[in-house]
Amino acid sequence: MIWTLLPLVWIFALSLKRDSALSDPGYNRWGNFWPEDPTLKNYELIFSGSAKDLFVPALVNSIVVCLISTVISVVLATFCAYALARLDFPGKRIILTTALAVSFFPVIAMVTPLFNLWRQIGLFDTIPGLIIPYLALTLPLSIWTLTAFFQQIPWEMEQAAQVDGATSWQAFRKVVAPLAAPGVFTTAIIAFFTAWNDFVFAITLTSENARTVPAALSFFTGASQFVKPTGAISAAAVVVTIPVVILVLLFQRRIVAGLTSGAVKG
Q: State the chain's mean pLDDT as an integer.
A: 83
What spatial distance separates the first Cα and last Cα of the chain, rounded to whole Å?
A: 32
Q: Give backbone dihedrals phi and psi of 196, rounded to 5 degrees, phi first.
A: -65, -35
Domain boundaries, the chain: 52-216+241-260
Place domain 52-216+241-260 in its CATH homologous superfamily. MetI-like (1.10.3720.10)
Distances in Å between the Cα of 141 and the Cα atoms of 81, 100, 137, 145, 259 are 11, 7, 7, 6, 14
- The predicted pLDDT at position 261 comes to 53
Distances in Å between the Cα of 45 and the Cα atoms of 58, 60, 228, 238 are 15, 17, 14, 14
- The predicted pLDDT at position 64 comes to 94
pTM score of the predicted model:
0.82
pLDDT tens across 158-200, in order?
788 888 888 878 888 888 888 888 888 888 888 998 899 899 9
